[in-house]
Each structure stands twice: as C-alpha cells, then as structure tokens.
Amino acid sequence: MKKGSVINSDISRVIAQMGHFDTLAIGDAGMPVPVGTEKIDLAVSKGLPSFIAVLKNVLTELEVQKVYLANEIKTENPEVLAQTLALLDGIEVAYIPHEDMKRNLQPAHAFIRTGEMTPYANIILESGVTF
C-alpha cells in the first residue's frame, strides 16, 4: 500500500506522469470540464471533499512553480482565496479571467472535481522541477 499523502490512485498516477510546465487543475463541483480532459471526480456530497482539503493534499506531492486563479475569486470568494494563498508559500500566483481558466483546462493532464459549492474555487497548478 502506498505510504504517501496522496493515496487516490488516479491523482497519484497523474502527478507521477507530469513534467515541467505540465498542468493539473482542481475545482468546484460546477466547473465545466472540456471533452478530452480527464476528470477525476472526488465529489461525494455538497462540500465533501472541500477544494482546500484536496489542494492541500495535492501540494504535498506535486512540485508547483506557478498557479492560476480566476480574477473573480478576489471579490466573489475572498475566504477561499485567503485559504488558498496561505497554502501556496512563495509559489507565483497569476490571476486570469474565469473564461480563460475554463479554456486552459483543455491541455491539463486532469481536472480534479471536488464537492466544493462556492464560486470560483478553481485553480490550475503548473508543475515545476525538483532539481
């Protein structure tokens, strides 16, 4: 049995296959996922698991050099924004329009769907390198 923090086999597989500049997205239950982008559906019920819990878990295993958040999170979901920024610890943050974020899911290795039911709780993680 895997000993690490990320025990979901699909998430673990996707992270293991990522290289520098590849992307992985995590988002709320309502984010539309483009056809062709793998969706790892963790949603159990409203709020379970939360966006923050899943992000925290993924950050234990994925080397991240930059993240993308929707501009709209600043005004529409400042609580989740504050919690997200607290987890990023020096990682570069770029804000983009939500419409661009939806388009940028197409090349992502996968989209992890959470049970989050708050607006704009979505993030694109850009992989870094460990050397």
How many Å is the Cα radius of gyration of the chain? 13
What pLDDT, in 10s, does the model give residues 105-120?
Answer: 999 999 999 999 999 9
Q: Is 109 annotated as a binding residue?
A: no
Q: Which residue has the tokens 């050099």?
A: 65
What's the CA gap between 124 and 131, in Å, rounded? 22
**Domains annotated on the chain, with CATH:** 24-127 (3.40.1650.10)
What is the spatial distance between Cα 66 and Cα 85, in angstroms, rounded to a whole number?
A: 12
**Mutual angle of helices 51-59 and 78-88, in 10-degree steps:** 10
Catalytic residues: 20
Prior bond to 49 cis, omega within 30? yes
Annotated binding-site residue? 57:
no
41 belongs to an annotated ligand binding site: no
pTM above 0.95, yes or no: yes
Looking at residue 63, what is its pLDDT?
Answer: 97
